[in-house]
Amino acid sequence: NRLDTHDPSADTLYGIDLFVHPDYRGLRLGRRLYDARKLLCEEKNLRRIITGGRIPGFSKHPELSVQQYINKVRNGEIYDPVLSFQLANDFHVRKVLRSYIPEDEDSRSYATLLEWINIYYEDSEGRRDSYLSSRKSVVRVGAVQWQMRRFHSMEDVAEQMEYFVDAIAGYNADFVLFPEFFNGPLMVNSTDNHPSQAIRHLATYTEDMITAVCGLAVAYNINIIAGSMPWMEEDGTIKNISYICRRDGTWASQEKIHITPDEKAYWGLKGGDRLSVFETDIGKVGVLICYDVEFPELSRVLAEQGMKILFVPFWTDTRNAYLRVRRCAQARAIENECYVVITGSVGNLPRVENMDIQYSQAAMFSPSDFSFPHDAVIAEATPNTEMTLVSDLDMDLLKELRYQGSVQNFRDRRLDLYRIDWLKRT
């Protein structure tokens, strides 16, 4: 009942049996446990993980040799509940084990010896370089360029969201960003078509949508920036709020602070007074909703608190409105030496006043220096087409830029001459 071969000076982690209770399957707990083991290897500077794995689907294919069976599983022609999972987690078959568990008829007594290699392992006496922290150095981010369409119910919206969350989580992304007012089509269900009443009707869905999105974040093991949704305060005022649903089941929110003239005139929205940096499993992120990114003071306040990725869900109706958001987002990336991810909605939305047309081109921006793309654009979507955008953001490059960049905007601020103070105290 214990492992008696432990050697504190050894370089290999042995993966003991891993089981997930049937009631909790489908939440990607197995992958999360393996991610934790991999992180342990990196922190302890271990060379590899090895594990023995049954092949319980082998008995269903008596016509195949064990070599043929493994090759077909590797090529995706056959699904094996154990081996397929191991291969999906970057393990490789190193050896076939015969008579591993003689009574295991499902595996015909065979098993595989699997290995995962820690690419950061150093064979010298020293530890890993200090820049390889316990958090991921490369963060994979997805953005959904959302097609506005008729939704008859909140469940329809959640189903469409799940489609995109599933697709982007399939690439092992850490974040997915949705647009501002992505659930706006539900306003068509309001019995009063006046915009000020339609937005209040939309707010009645928000609490249930938060619950649904948090469930998706846990189920698909991905942090979801749920664009924005209206929230009605007890005094009847309406705010535009973005929700950050973490994959550990917790959530936080960011109010839109600056309200456009149209949002005031049509919907009667009121600006918020809270600005926060959010801790996540990959580091600190911030959210500025649409118009807010056009005010450089906000992103500077966030950057001073350690923000490394700024998410900007937006809704714009025309190209010139979109370009205001885009140009300002690019400036924020340069000023604050951070990554900025933007996305909006596309298409037409009849019978919803003030949201009848949309324009968007999702994009991811970097600072502008030699380590980044020559145009400081990491990735961008096709304009005005429903699609997803997925790309990797290298956090180590931001650290190098801060101290070794051609220019060092953040360090070279003249704090003896000016500063930004947040005046609102909670």
* Side-chain-facing half-sphere of 88: CA atoms under 13 Å: 16
**Selected catalytic residue, list 180, 255, 263, 337:** 180
User: C-alpha distances in angstroms, 420 versus 115, 258, 300, 301, 424?
Assistant: 52, 17, 8, 7, 12
**What's the CA gap between 384 and 104, in Å, rounded?**
55
Both tokens assigned to 382: 């096709």
CA-based nearest residue to 66, from 27, 25, 108, 126: 108
Q: Identify the CA nearest to 66 among candidates 30, 113, 15.
A: 113
* Residue 290 is a catalytic residue: yes
CA distances to 144, 173, 384 from 347, rounded to whole Å, are 14, 26, 7
List the structure tokens of 422.
């947040």
Instruction: Characterize the bridge pairing of strands 309-313 and 283-287.
Output: parallel
Q: How is residue 215 written in tokens? A: 């469930």
Per the structure block, which two tokens stand in for 383?
A: 């304009």
DSSP character at residue 382: P
Query: What DSSP character marks residue 228?
Result: B
Q: In degrees, to the nearest 5, what angle opens at C-alpha 27 toward C-alphas 24 and 32?
A: 110
Residue 67 phi, psi (nearest 5): -65, -45
Q: Give the DSSP per-residue string, 323-375.
A: HHHHHHHHHHHHHHT-EEEEE-EESB-TT-TT-SB-----EEE--SSTTS-TT
DSSP state letters, 56-119: TTGGG-TTS-HHHHHHHHHTTSS--TTHHHHHHTT-EEEEEETTSSTT-TTTTT-EEEEEEE-T
The residue type of 357 is I
Among candidates 179, 217, 216, 190, which has minimal Cα distance to 346?
Answer: 179
Active site residue 284: no
Closest CA to 296 of 344, 243, 254, 338: 338
**Pair of tokens at residue 140:** 């994979």
Selected catalytic residue, list 214, 255, 256, 263 = 256
Which residue among the candidates 41, 214, 245, 290 is catalytic per the annotation? 290
Question: CB burial class (10 A; 0-12, 13-18, 19+) of residue 25?
Answer: exposed
Residue 180 among the catalytic residues: yes
Catalytic residues: 180, 256, 290
